[in-house]
């Protein structure tokens, strides 16, 4: 008769219960900068626990902590102390060299009043959107770049949160992709081969990648709307094409 | 074990009731473990697969589908997907898996892959494998499988037909069913 793995199951159950039990996750403040037109490099600024004031004079967020952006999963670990900036103008933050274990940069923008923001990373436009409900995302860092984050809000009062994170659910490049990246440059042949592996991986998930034609200096393609089901794009793009795509586009941007 | 329905427990877990997620685990761990014996070679792999299946269920909770009041179909498909890339999935959860006591599970002869179906899963695409596991191996209806996978019933039917054809071709052209 086989032994009952009850001890292991009991330990696993305790972990699952703890994970599912709602508890606030907070991180400490580091840099809180005044609200008027801050533009420039903010790395290294540490003004202390100055309470950020909202339009009504009430602290917008407490000085003792800051809720983690909701898009970070429970598996994510914030590395070091996040930078938090209160601003009404564009801010630029040089994140510098990624710390050991970092899988990306997390940026979260909240606005006190309806407004929007745009985000650039190392000089390239990455996206934007409405920020009055909070918005942002997770960006792979550029291993060859300086990792300069620039956030431009179009609102009177915004708070920008930037941190290096080790996102537990992140995918890592396949051995083939790593080999192509190893010398610090991505050739057109390596770029095209990475795309072909991405397409093949998606096909294995039952997803047909559309387009795939050469558009000036890069491959243009499209994906059906349901593609994220079961994480097909997350896995296939992350393992086979993401880092090659980023490196190629940066080295060929205008 | 139960306090109310499974669907209620799932809803409570999503609202922050950790013990409700524990009850989901109590309900389905043995079924997921039995399924795991078909999918991976060693008892230790089975235990890791069980752990990863429930950890992934929580991590991907926004995508979990409740079919006829149960998350079991989703769990079984998740286990099937995880088994395909177990090494990669294990890296994601390596710190947690290392904390768990050693596996004491032994092989389950009741879960032998007599027809060699499970051993053939790797020959199918992910989507074909999912419908085969749910409809042929686990006995869910095409309607239930469609609900679990979030696709129309006709899609399940066509995928199932394709998977059957491919498996039949693979098994019978070699003459001897592969038994793991």
A161 and A187 both lie in a single domain = no
**pLDDT digit string, tens, across residues B43-96:** 888 999 999 999 888 877 767 888 888 999 989 988 888 887 776 667 667 767
Nearest-CA distance B177 → chain A (Å): 24
Residue B61 per-residue DSSP state: G
Spatial distance between the Cα atoms of A155 and A88, rounded to a whole number of angstroms: 6
A153 & A92 share domain: yes
Instruction: Count how many domains chain B has.
Output: 2
More confident residue, A42 or A215: A215
Partners of residue B82 in chain A, C-beta under 8 Å: none
Q: Which residues contact A71 (CB under 8 A, 6 or more apart)?
A: A106, A108, A136, A137, A138
Q: Could you tell me the CATH number of the domain that includes residue A140?
A: 2.60.120
Domain housing B46? 1-111
Assess if residue A17 is contained within a domain.
no
A194 and A147, same structural domain? no
Q: Which of A1, A7, A9 to mutate to test the interface with B (most CBs of B within 10 A)?
A: A9
Boundary-marking domain end, from A118, A140, A166: A166
Q: Same domain, yes or no, for A158 and A189?
A: no
Task: Mark whether B91 and B165 lie in a shared domain.
Answer: no
Residues A223 and A155 both lie in one domain: no
A41 three-class SS: strand
CB contact B122 to A (< 8 Å):
no
Beta-carbon separation of B108 and A3 below 8 A: no
Query: Can you give the pLDDT at residue A28?
Result: 40
Query: Residue B124: which CATH number?
Result: 1.10.10.10
One domain for residues A119 and A202 = no
Asked if B101 lies within 8 A of A169 by C-beta distance, the reply is: no
* CA–CA distance, B70 with B24 (Å, rounded to integer): 9
Question: Rounded to two decimals, what is the model's pTM?
Answer: 0.51
Indicate the range of B11-15, B19-23, B175-179 predicted with least confidence: B175-179
Tell whether B122 and B87 lie within a shared domain.
no
Do B24 and B94 fall within a single domain? yes
Domain count, chain A: 2
Q: Is residue A12 part of a domain?
A: no
Question: Which residues in chain B touch residue A225, judged by CB atoms under 8 angstroms apart?
Answer: none
ipTM reported for the complex surpasses 0.90: no
Range of the domain at A210: 175-251
A123 found inside a domain: yes
In terms of domains, do A162 and A37 share one? yes
Burial A120-150 (b: 16+ CB within 10 A, else e): bbbeeeeebeebeebbbbbbbbbeeeebbbb
Identity of the residue in A16, A22, A74 whose CB atom sits nearest the CB atom of B54: A16
Based on the domain organization, do B132 and B161 belong to the same domain?
A: yes
What digits encode the pLDDT tens for the residues B42-53?
888 899 999 999
Query: Taking Cα atoms as reference points, which of B81, B157, B150 lies closest to residue B121?
Result: B81
Element housing B165 (H / E)? helix B153-174
Asked whether B19 and A17 are in contact (CB, 8 A), the reply is yes
Among the residue ranges A53-57, A133-137, B102-106, the one predicted with the least confidence is A53-57
Contact (CB<8Å) B127/A206 = yes
Give yes or no: residues A120 and A27 share one domain. Answer: yes
Selected residues 13-52 of chain A with any CB under 8 Å from a CB in chain B:
13, 15-22
Last residue of a domain, one of A142, A166, A190: A166
Task: Look at residues A120, A147, A166 and tell me which one is the last residue of a structural domain.
Answer: A166
Q: Is A130 helix (H, G, I), strand (E, B) or coil?
A: strand
């Amino acid at each position: 008769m086989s032994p009952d793995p009850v001890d292991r199951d009991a330990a696993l159950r305790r972990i699952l219960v703890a994970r599912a039990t709602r508890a606030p996750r907070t991180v400490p403040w580091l840099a809180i900068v005044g609200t008027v037109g801050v533009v420039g490099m903010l790395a290294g600024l540490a003004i202390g626990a100055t309470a950020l004031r909202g339009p009504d004079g009430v602290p917008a967020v407490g000085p003792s902590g800051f809720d983690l952006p909701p898009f970070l999963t429970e598996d994510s670990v914030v590395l070091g102390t996040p930078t938090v900036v209160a601003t009404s103008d564009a801010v630029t933050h040089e994140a510098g060299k990624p710390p050991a274990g970092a899988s990306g940069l997390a940026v979260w923008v909240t606005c006190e009043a309806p407004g929007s923001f745009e985000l650039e990373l190392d000089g390239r436009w990455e996206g934007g959107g409405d920020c009055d409900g909070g918005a942002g995302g997770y960006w792979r860092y550029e291993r060859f770049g300086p990792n300069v984050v620039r956030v431009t809000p179009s609102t009177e009062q915004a708070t920008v949160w930037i941190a290096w994170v080790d996102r537990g659910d992140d995918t890592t490049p396949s051995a083939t992709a790593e080999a192509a990246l190893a010398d610090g440059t991505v050739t057109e042949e390596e770029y095209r081969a990475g795309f072909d592996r991405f397409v093949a991986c998606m096909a294995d998930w039952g997803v047909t990648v559309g387009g795939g034609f050469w558009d000036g200096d890069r491959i243009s393609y499209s994906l059906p709307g349901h593609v994220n089901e079961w994480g097909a794009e997350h896995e296939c793009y992350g393992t086979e094409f993401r880092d090659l795509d980023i490196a190629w586009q940066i080295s060929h941007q205008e | 074990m139960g306090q109310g329905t499974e669907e209620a427990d799932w809803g409570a877990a999503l609202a922050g009731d950790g013990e409700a997620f524990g009850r989901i685990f109590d309900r389905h761990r043995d079924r997921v473990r039995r399924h795991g014996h078909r999918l991976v070679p060693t008892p230790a792999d089975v235990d890791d697969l069980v752990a990863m299946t429930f950890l992934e269920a929580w991590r991907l909770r926004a995508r979990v589908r409740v079919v006829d009041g149960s998350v079991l179909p989703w769990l079984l498909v998740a286990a099937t997907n995880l088994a395909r890339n177990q090494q990669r999935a294990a890296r994601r959860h390596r710190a947690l898996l290392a904390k768990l006591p050693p596996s004491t599970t032994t092989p389950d002869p009741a879960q032998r892959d007599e027809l060699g179906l499970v051993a053939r899963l790797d020959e199918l695409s992910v989507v074909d494998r999912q419908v085969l596991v749910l409809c042929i191996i686990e006995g869910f209806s095409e309607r239930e499988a469609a609900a679990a996978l979030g696709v129309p019933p006709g899609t399940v039917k066509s995928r199932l037909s394709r998977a059957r054809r491919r498996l039949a071709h693979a098994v019978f052209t070699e003459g001897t069913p592969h038994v793991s």
